[in-house]
Structure formats: C-alpha cells, structure tokens
Structure 1
Amino acid sequence: MTRLQRAATIAFVLHLVAGAAMAVVLRQGLETNPDLQNRLSFLVNHRALWTLSWLTWTAAAIAILYFYMVFASTHHTGNLVVFLTAAAIAPDLAAQAIEIGVLPDLTQHADWFMLLHRTAVLMSGYVANGLYSFSALILAWSTRQAYPVWVWLSGVAVGCFGFMLSAAALVNSTAGMFWSNVVLVPSILFWLAGVALREARS
C-alpha cells in the first residue's frame, strides 16, 4: 500500500464514520431539528454521544489535512493547499470545541446557545469549509490528467459543493446546509475512493 493510498483510505473511513454520525446523531442537536426544546434536551440527555460524534469530525479534519499533504507531495502540486488546509484546521477545531465543551452547558440560556452555535457554524461551515473546498478544487483540477474523469470530477464536486455549503452557512440557510452536505459527503467519499483505487492499481 502506497503512502497516498493509505492516506486516502484513512480519510475515506473517517469521513464515512463522520457522515454517519452527522446523519444519525448530530442532526438531532443541529438546525435540522426544528424543535429547539427537543434539540436542547438532546444535548443534555446524550452529551457523551454528542461529544463522540463531534470527535469523529475532528478526526476527519485531521485525516483530510494528512491526505492533502500526501496528495500534494505525491503529485508535486506545491504547498499552497497544505497551508490553506492547515489554516482551516484552527477555526474548524475551535468551532467543534464550542459544540462539544460549551453548548451543552448553555441549554438553559437559549439566546447564548444560539449565538455561540451561530459563531461555530460560521467558523467551521463558512471559514474552514471554504478553505478546505478551495484546496480540494486546486488538487483535483491540477491532477486531472493523472486520474479517470470520474475521480477528478468528484474532487471538483467536493470544491463546488463545499462552496455551496459555505454560502449556505454564511446566509444561515438550514435547507442549504442540509442539501449541500447531502451531496458533499458522497463526493468526498467518491474522490477518496477513486484516489485509493488508482493507487492500488498503479
């Protein structure tokens, strides 16, 4: 197994787990749950599950940084994407820290809860995700000659749908964030799987 295949496989597995955590657990404590009281109760009654689910996204963020580093090194695309992704990690992890360590303690203060959650959404969904998406677009486009069309187009889709998610986060569109995630996560998985398969055959 090559270094790039390993990095792609690790990122694939962690994003698959994180995507499942979002679909099954986190959605109950996010804007996708329109019942605020039910949402707050979920955080209080299932704090350990809430925390563990967010930690899967922490692991996925670190895995995508590692994947981008190895991808850029393997294909000699330069260090810009590494710098962009490293810059994205800080607001992303800070936002997750708010979701894990702050919001469950603010369920009796709905105004503060909503304000800090909105801050976390902007940090992760807008700032960090925008940087991740730009990095994906650069990597996929610059290596399009090295991969089958479906693989590099999946990478381009990651960038495009990622920008859609960032825009939805900026304007606070719950429907926009939901549907962009619905197509973004599978695009990430297709791209990572394609890179891993190409490495396995080379």
Structure 2
Amino acid sequence: MSAAILRANGPLCSAAWVAFVVHLLAGVAMAAALSQGLDTNADLHARLHFLAHQTLWWNLAWLTWNGAALTMLWFVVCFAQAHGNRLAGRIAVCFTTAAIALDLGAEAIEMGALPDLARTILADLQQTANPPSLLLFQSLHRLAVMLTGYGANGLYSLSALLLAWSTRREYRYWAWPAGAAVGVIGLALSGAVLVNSVAGMVIGNLLLGPCLLYWLLAVALAHRATIEDKPPAEGA
C-alpha cells in the first residue's frame, strides 16, 4: 500500500465517524420532527399546523439532513482518496456532488417555501375547502421529494455501489456488503419515490438507515485498524 494511501486512512476514518454521528442525528430528527410534516402524516390539517406553527423545529430538523449530505460528500471523497482515486471512486465523487445539489435544493423548498405556504392554506381554508394554495403546496412538495428521494438518493445509491464493489477485495465479508446493500436498497427507495408509494418510502428508509450506519461504522473501524497497524516511518 502506497504512503499516500496510508496517509488517507486517517481522514477516511474521521469522515466515516462524523458521517455516522450526523446521519444518526438526522434519523432521530426524521422520526421526531420531520415525520409530522411529511407524507407519513396522513392527517393533512395536523401536518399543515405543524409546518405553520413549529417552523423552527421543522427547519432545525432539515438542517441535520443538510449536514448529512455534506458529510456524505466528505466521506466519499476520503474513501476515493484512501483507495488510490480509482475511476470508480472519481465517478462516485461526481455522482455525490450532483446529488448534494439536488438534495440541498429540495430541502430548501421544504424549509423556505412550505411553512409559509402552510400558513396561507390554513387561512384560505377558512374561505374554501379546496384552495389553489393547497395544490401549489402539494406540487412543490412532490417536486422536492422527487429531487431528493429520486434524483439525489439514486445518485448516492449508485455511488455506494461503485465504492463498495470496486473495493470488495479490500474489506472483510462483514463490511463491504453493507455498502452494496445501501446501494441496492437506495435504488429501490428511489423507485418507491418515483411511483409515489408512501409505504415503499417508509419501508425503504427503515431499511436504508441502519444499513448506511452499519457501513459507515464498518469503514471507520476497518481504517482505524489500518492506522493502528501502520508500520512506523523509516528513521523513527
């Protein structure tokens, strides 16, 4: 293993740990806050009231997902560097960069547009049962879901598949399949988003989250072991 790759183990280990913690926090935010304002909440009025009156918590929860996206890019870049910047790694970095653009754009809609629109809808519902603002709300939310759940998630999933498969001989049997599972489940989740299956999205997220956390943890532990086993430099 080259000296450059050995030096890259430290950043990858750090990136994996940080991504693990931030994604764990984002998962908690999804369960505690975001689920109340998304399609998982079948009560439209309760959903609108949450967005209109709990905007601070809604936006803070989305900020954890902003952070998760950025830590994923850091992880992918460090992963590619730690494995010699192979073609698969470089493609994964490009895919992840594009995914973040889609992800942050979608989350900006959720944070910046939907709470104000929810307040407008609640006011309009005093006058009519089906205000035009409700259709706009549904359209914007669907756009955001497609951007993040189909576009960004699909690119993240392809990146995970590329990284896991291209380095499968360098990780033990309990590590690299988790990355492949992240890719496969992520693509299935993108399919559920495309057909607008709420049940499919819920199941996909319930499976994807633990797999991603496991993969990040496995990579962090594998590269920590590599750092600890690294021979001392000559003359040390």
Question: Scaled by the length of structure 1, what TM-score is found?
Answer: 0.98
Q: Which runs of 5+ in 2 are unaligned?
A: 1-8, 122-132, 227-236
Using the alignment, how far apart are the partners of 2:212 and 2:71 within structure 1?
12
1:10-21 alignment runs, 5 A limit: 10-21=18-29
What residue is the counterpart of 1:66 in the other structure? 74
What residue is the counterpart of 1:116 in the other structure? 140
Q: CA deviation at 1:18?
A: 0.4
Identity within the alignment, %: 52
* Structure with greater helix percent: 1
What residue is the counterpart of 1:96 in the other structure? 107
Using the alignment, how far apart are the partners of 1:89 and 1:56 within structure 2?
14
What residue is the counterpart of 1:190 in the other structure? 214
Match of 2:174, SS state, is helix
Q: Which runs of 5+ in 1 are unaligned?
A: none
Q: CA deviation at 1:111?
A: 1.2
- The answer on 1:105 being equivalent to 2:116 is yes
Deviates more, 1:97-106 or 1:145-154: 145-154
Match of 1:149, SS state, is coil
Q: CA deviation at 1:151?
A: 1.0
Q: CA deviation at 1:154?
A: 0.6
- The answer on 1:32 being equivalent to 2:34 is no
- The answer on 1:139 being equivalent to 2:163 is yes
Deviation track 1:66-114 (CA, whole Å, cap 9, x = no partner) reads 1000001111233111111111111110000000000001111221111
Q: CA deviation at 1:149?
A: 1.2
1:168 to 162, 173, 192: 192
Using the alignment, how far apart are the partners of 1:23 and 1:154 within structure 2?
23
AA in 1 matched with 2:138: M
Q: CA deviation at 1:45?
A: 1.4
Q: CA deviation at 1:115?
A: 0.5
Match of 1:150, SS state, is coil
Question: Scaled by the length of structure 2, what TM-score is found?
Answer: 0.84
Using the alignment, how far apart are the partners of 1:201 and 1:38 within structure 2?
49
Using the alignment, how far apart are the partners of 1:103 and 1:130 within structure 2?
24
Q: CA deviation at 1:146?
A: 1.1
In our comparison, the structure showing a higher alpha carbon Rg is: 2
Match of 1:148, SS state, is coil
AA in 2 matched with 1:112: L
Using the alignment, how far apart are the partners of 2:38 and 2:172 within structure 1?
37
AA in 2 matched with 1:28: Q
What residue is the counterpart of 1:158 in the other structure? 182
Q: Which runs of 4+ in 1 moved over 3 A?
A: none
What residue is the counterpart of 2:150 in the other structure? 126
Match of 2:175, SS state, is helix
Using the alignment, how far apart are the partners of 2:117 and 2:208 within structure 1?
30
Deviates more, 1:110-119 or 1:75-84: 75-84
Using the alignment, how far apart are the partners of 1:40 and 1:151 within structure 2?
42
Q: CA deviation at 1:201?
A: 1.1
RMSD: 0.9
What residue is the counterpart of 1:83 in the other structure? 94
Using the alignment, how far apart are the partners of 2:174 and 2:70 within structure 1?
25
Deviation track 1:153-196 (CA, whole Å, cap 9, x = no partner) reads 11001001100110011110000000000010100000000000
